[in-house]
């Protein structure tokens, strides 16, 4: 290497050495940083500032040229993450406003770092704690029926950039809806959140839980649970029919709890435990009729003798039932009068007829009953009758009159009336017959005493 080159490099190094000697701090203030954070909810201002030391720089000219360097930079961090910064001569500042409503729960550390032109740094830190836990209450509904609402209150911490929170509602742990709320103090309603009221008529019997969850904007939640009680048990009565005949109806009253979205309940009817029909009813107070439910009246003539049970079951819309049972009595036994001998208009006194009156209980559809004739225990014929009252005679069944001379004290003529349901009654005439006058002697319907 040449001697000239070595001397040049030595001269440059020496010049640099002397230039450093002439750098000196000229400011009495050291480089410093400060940070301040005001508030823990809503708008949270963050302010950082810095002051920088001024350094005098001189060259090695004669006379010297000197100047002051007081530049520096400011950087601001939150929880180790860079927020922002600035630079300046002598000082710098930087500020922003955070939304406490979206900051996560817990402690947050803010740090300002000032760095001057010579790399000297100063740090300042501060911390705040965010607690955006909301509060929520439920106005206890108690026992309810029909259309009902559930209300309550919620309190959120302020959010400076948007809504404060959301409210979610659950019935028996099933999600029903949610709604965003603005403001820190909220009066909430189930109907506002879901768009409709609740219908007690559709809930099963017993207690049901409503859970309301308030979600703050930063995700922290608070929940509250209350219960409401459903008792939709209906009531049902039967107007006791008593003893009946012919076409008859059965009536009564049912009371249902209100259902706001559809029918209140159904009524089912059973006769002797056999299903007869059902009908849907709207309204809470119902006057029911068997004929409305089934489309027809009852016919006493078709029922067997004795007591029969009618059971009416009221079904509320939620499935709970109440039943009532009453009895009606059937006695369709016909009435038969004592048979009597009647004379006929004839030239002979040897012919007569035996007659009786039969009364059946009314039957709404079809014939009422049958009358059979027995002579001395032997069946001689039968006739079916529609209507209640009838006169029957020996001649109707045999197509001939009775010969008086053929009768004796052993002669027995019986009329046996049988109702459609099988109930029967009979009366018997016992001989002998008495001779009758001829058509010119006395009335044709009288017999002569022997």
For residues 288 and 250, membership in a common domain is answered with yes
Res 435 pLDDT > 80: yes
Res 129 pLDDT > 80: yes
Strand partners, 314: 267, 322
Question: Which residue from 323, 299, 284 is spatially nearest to 250, judged by alpha carbons?
Answer: 299
Q: How far is the C-alpha of 210 from the C-alpha of 130, rounded, in Å?
A: 29
For residues 147 and 124, membership in a common domain is answered with no
pLDDT given at position 170: 98
For residues 53 and 96, membership in a common domain is answered with yes
Instruction: Tell me, yes or no, whether 449 lies in a domain.
Output: no
Res 26 pLDDT > 70: no
Name the domain count of the chain: 4
Strand partners, 254: 236, 286
For residues 99 and 170, membership in a common domain is answered with no
Phi, psi of 319 (to 5 degrees): 100, -15
pLDDT in tens, 306-358: 999 999 999 999 999 999 999 999 999 999 999 999 988 766 678 999 999 99
Neighbours of 224 (CB within 10 A): 16
pLDDT given at position 169: 98
Q: How far is the C-alpha of 98 from the C-alpha of 45, rounded, in Å?
A: 6
Q: Is 156 exposed, middle or buried (0-12, 13-18, 19+ CB in 10 A)?
A: buried
Q: How far is the C-alpha of 329 from the C-alpha of 101, rounded, in Å?
A: 78
pLDDT given at position 373: 98
299-303 average pLDDT score: 96
Instruction: Tell me, yes or no, whether 154 lies in a domain.
Output: yes
- 232 near 205, Cβ under 8 Å? yes
For residues 395 and 411, membership in a common domain is answered with yes
pLDDT in tens, 46-69: 999 999 999 999 999 999 999 999
| Neighbouring C-alpha atoms within 13 Å toward the C-beta of 328 | 26
For residues 22 and 117, membership in a common domain is answered with yes
Residue ranges making up the domain that contains 365: 335-430
Instruction: Tell me, yes or no, whether 119 lies in a domain.
Output: yes
Question: Which residue from 80, 84, 72, 71 is spatially nearest to 125, judged by alpha carbons?
Answer: 80
pLDDT in tens, 375-388: 999 999 999 999 99
- 113 near 197, Cβ under 8 Å? no
Residue with tokens 């049972």: 325
CATH number for the domain that contains residue 374:
2.60.40
Three-state SS at 447: strand
Instruction: Tell me, yes or no, whether 438 lies in a domain.
Output: no
Q: Got the DSSP string for 15-66? A: HHHHHHHT-EE--SSPPEEEEEE--SSSEEEEEEEEE---EEEE-S-SS--E
- 335 near 368, Cβ under 8 Å? no
Instruction: Tell me, yes or no, whether 298 lies in a domain.
Output: yes
pLDDT given at position 329: 98
For residues 115 and 168, membership in a common domain is answered with no
Q: Which secondary structure element, helix H or strand E, spans residue 395, and what is its range?
A: helix 394-398
Res 437 pLDDT > 90: no
Average pLDDT, the chain: 91
Contacts (Cβ under 8 Å, ≥6 apart) of 174: none
pLDDT given at position 436: 80
Contacts (Cβ under 8 Å, ≥6 apart) of 48: 33, 34, 35, 36, 74, 76, 85, 93, 94, 95, 112, 124
Q: How far is the C-alpha of 306 from the C-alpha of 333, rounded, in Å?
A: 11
Q: How far is the C-alpha of 80 from the C-alpha of 99, rounded, in Å?
A: 18
pLDDT in tens, 60-93: 999 999 999 999 999 999 999 999 999 999 999 9
Instruction: Tell me, yes or no, whether 401 lies in a domain.
Output: yes
Instruction: Tell me, yes or no, whether 436 lies in a domain.
Output: no
Q: Domain boundary at 208, 230, 252, which?
A: 230
What token pair was written down for 111?
Answer: 């740090």
Q: To 5 degrees, how large is the angle CA 18–CA 19–CA 23?
A: 115
CATH number for the domain that contains residue 217:
2.60.40.10
């Amino acid at each position: 290497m040449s001697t000239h080159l070595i001397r040049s490099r030595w001269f440059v190094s020496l010049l640099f050495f002397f230039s450093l000697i002439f750098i000196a701090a000229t400011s009495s203030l050291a480089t410093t940083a400060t940070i301040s954070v005001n508030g823990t909810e809503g708008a949270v201002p963050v302010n950082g500032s810095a002051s920088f030391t001024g350094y005098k720089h001189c060259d090695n000219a004669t006379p010297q040229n000197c100047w002051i360097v007081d530049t520096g930079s400011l950087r601001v961090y939150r929880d180790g993450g860079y927020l922002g910064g600035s630079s300046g001569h002598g000082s710098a500042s930087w500020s922003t406003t955070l939304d406490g409503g979206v900051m996560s729960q817990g402690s947050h550390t803010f740090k300002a770092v000032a760095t001057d032109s010579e790399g000297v740094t100063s740090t300042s830190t501060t911390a705040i704690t965010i607690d955006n836990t909301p509060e929520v209450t439920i106005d206890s509904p108690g026992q309810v029926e029909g259309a009902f609402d559930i209300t309550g209150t919620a309190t959120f911490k302020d959010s400076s950039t948007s809504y404060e929170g959301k409210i979610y509602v659950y019935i028996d742990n099933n999600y029903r809806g949610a709604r965003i709320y603005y403001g820190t103090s909220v009066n909430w309603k189930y109907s506002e959140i879901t768009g409709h009221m609740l219908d007690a008529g559709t809930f099963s019997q017993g207690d049901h839980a409503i859970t309301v969850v308030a979600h703050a904007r930063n995700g922290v939640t608070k929940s509250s649970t209350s219960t409401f009680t459903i008792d939709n048990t209906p009531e049902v009565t039967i107007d006791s029919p008593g003893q009946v005949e012919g076409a008859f109806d059965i009536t009564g009253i049912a009371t249902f709890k209100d259902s706001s979205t559809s029918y209140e309940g159904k009524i089912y009817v059973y006769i002797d435990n056999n299903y007869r029909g059902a009908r849907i009813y709207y309204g809470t107070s119902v006057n029911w009729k068997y004929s409305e439910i089934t489309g027809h009246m009852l016919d006493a003539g078709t029922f067997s003798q004795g007591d029969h049970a009618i059971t009416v079951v009221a079904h509320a819309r939620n499935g709970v039932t109440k039943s009532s049972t009453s009895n009606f009595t059937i006695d369709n036994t016909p009435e038969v009068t004592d048979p009597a001998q009647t004379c006929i208009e004839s030239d002979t006194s040897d012919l007569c007829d035996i007659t009786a009156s039969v009364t059946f209980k009314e039957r709404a559809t079809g014939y009422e009953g049958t009358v059979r004739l027995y002579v001395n225990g032997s069946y001689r014929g039968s006739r079916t009758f529609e209507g209640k009252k009838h006169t029957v005679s020996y001649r109707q069944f045999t197509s001939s009159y009775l010969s008086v001379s053929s009768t004796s004290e052993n002669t027995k003529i019986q009329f046996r009336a049988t109702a459609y349901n099988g109930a029967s009654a009979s009366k018997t005439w016992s001989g002998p017959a008495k001779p009758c006058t001829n058509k010119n002697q006395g009335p044709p319907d009288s017999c002569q005493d022997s």
